Chain A
Amino acid sequence: MGLNFADAAGFDVNNQFLEYEIPFLYGGTGVKPEVESELVRKIEEQKTICGGFVKNFALPITGLMIHIEDYAAAHPGIMKDCVDVCIEESHQATKADPSGTAIKMSQHFGLMGAGNCPFDGKDVGADFRAKTGKYKGKFDMIRDREKQLAMGVAEEHLGGHGWHQYTLKAHSNKGIAVIESFGRELATDFFTVNNPCLKGYNVSGDFWFNQSITSNNNRTLNIDIKQDAEGNFILLHDINGRQPYVDGVMQKGLPMIVNAIRSRERGRAYFERDLVSVA
């Protein structure tokens, strides 16, 4: 089987895998959605192999994004006129574009109607890359080394990290109730040792706005929900280095395709939701 992590310039390798009928897993980013969709269409049409397309192999983060996507779909507009969101992301200085993860998450908050969000419900399902101009003035893209060090990014990870923080600010009693409902649902249904996405991670917490997920290996991955001094709700997730991605590839990504090969499945494309459901 093939495993391709090339960026958009190397996406064509996947077409070669299809041509030679080699099942593959693709983990690169920056590819235009229509290019990926065209290959998915070919896979489904030719029915010779299966192919996986996963943009984030860090299972807890991918699981969190899916969880919030589903929550937003079930609660469209719930934060409208009562909750604002503030989005901050920090990556290595060489990353010029905004975080795709932050854009995706802002789409979910946008669907919920959060104020100050660069995307709204109408953007859901759209090609968000075509709309990245909308992030300007809405995202705080942190690329400054000194600021990153002050935030707590370790010097060894300045060259490779992805930190995201979403601050939810209520401006009415209704907003407070909406945030609490959102936070309680996360604490109950996501921050739980029974969550398969969190297998191998430490899950702890004593209250709905005090929950934490950490990796065992030198805190390479963390997800926290907490309150700041002003009572705002904070959701943050950070990855330091590449090991969480490698773990996801080895523990779920490759087995997902191997399972498909063994079951002689052809003509199917696999995505993030399939990844987090691999036993």
Chain B
Amino acid sequence: MTEKTPIILAGVPGDMGSRLFDAIRSSQDFEIAELNVMGGVSPVALTGDSIRKQPIDDAFVR
């Protein structure tokens, strides 16, 4: 895989979310494009031809 697949990660708080977050970030095939820990996809991030990259908050578990 030459280009990483961007992932919009939604609705995964707690230990499961932390583990998924870490697994995706360390993956050679995928990357985090957006986080929505509490659920809900931001329309701003989804418009356009591709998913706009969002700054990632390292403090994933809120």
Complex CA distance for A24 and B11, rounded to whole angstroms: 13
Known contacts: A2-B41, A20-B46. The answer to whether A10 contacts B11 by CB under 8 A is yes
- Flag whether A16 is at the interface (Cβ < 8 A): yes
Judging by beta carbons under 8 Å apart, are B16 and A10 in contact?
Answer: no
Q: How far apart sit A241 and B19, CA to CA, in the bound complex (Å)?
A: 11
B6 to chain A, nearest CB (A): 7
Answer yes or no: A277 CB below 8 A from chain B CBs: no
With A13-B39, A160-B15, A242-B15 known as contacts, the answer to whether A250 contacts B7 (CB < 8 A) is no
Which residues from 215 to 267 on chain A have a C-beta closer than 8 Å to any C-beta of chain B? Answer: 241-243, 245-246, 249-250, 254-255, 258, 261
Given A10-B39, A250-B27, A254-B30, answer yes or no on A5-B15 (Cβ-Cβ < 8 Å). Answer: no
User: What distance in Å separates the Cβ of A48 from its nearest Cβ neighbour in chain B?
Assistant: 14
B39: contacting residue among A6, A20, A243, A261, CB under 8 A: A6
Q: Which residue of B lies closest to A7 (CB)?
A: B11
CB B26 to nearest CB in A, in angstroms, measures 10
Closest residue of A by beta carbon distance from B36: A13
Q: How far is the CB of A105 from chain B (nearest CB, A)?
A: 23
How many residues of chain A have a CB within 8 Å of chain B?
29
Residue of A nearest to B11 (CB): A6
Complex formed: what's the CA distance from A9 to B10 in Å? 12
Of residues 176 through 227 on chain A, the ones whose CB sits less than 8 Å from some CB of chain B are none
Interface size class of B (residues with CB under 8 A): 20 to 34
Q: Which of A10, A241, A258, A261 contacts B10 (CB 8 A)?
A: A10
Bound Cα distance from A1 to B47, whole angstroms: 13
CB contacts (< 8 Å) of A254 on chain B: these are: 5, 7, 29-30
CB distance from B3 to the nearest CB of A (A): 11
CB pair A2 B16 closer than 8 Å: no
A15 CB, min distance to chain B CBs, angstroms: 9
Q: How far is the CA of A13 from the CA of B12 in the complex (A)?
A: 12
Give bound CA distance, A258 to B1, whole Å: 11
Report the minimal beta-carbon distance from B37 to chain A, rounded to whole angstroms.
10
Interface centre among B27, B30, B39, by most chain A C-beta atoms within 10 angstroms, is B39
- Which residues of chain B have C-beta atoms less than 8 A from A6's C-beta? 10-12, 39
* CB-defined contacts of B43 to chain A, threshold 8 Å: 16, 20
Interface residue ranges of B1-29 to A (CB < 8 Å): 5-12, 15-17, 19-20, 23-24, 27, 29
- Please measure, in the bound complex, the distance between the C-alpha atom of A242 and the C-alpha atom of B16, giving whole angstroms: 6
CB contacts under 8 Å to B, within A49-80, are none
Asked if B16 and A9 sit within 8 Å, CB to CB, the answer is no
Chain A residue at minimum C-beta to C-beta distance from B45: A20
Q: Which residues of chain A have C-beta atoms less than 8 A from B6's C-beta?
A: 1
CA distance A92 to B4 in the complex (A): 36
Tell me if A86 counts as interface (CB < 8 A to partner B). no
Interface residues, chain B, CB within 8 Å of chain A?
Answer: 5-12, 15-17, 19-20, 23-24, 27, 29-30, 36, 38-41, 43, 46-47, 51
Q: A3-B8, A258-B5 are in contact. List 19 more A-B contacts (CB 8 A).
A: A1-B5, A1-B8, A2-B8, A2-B41, A4-B12, A5-B20, A6-B10, A6-B12, A13-B10, A16-B43, A17-B8, A22-B8, A242-B15, A242-B16, A242-B19, A246-B20, A249-B20, A250-B30, A261-B5
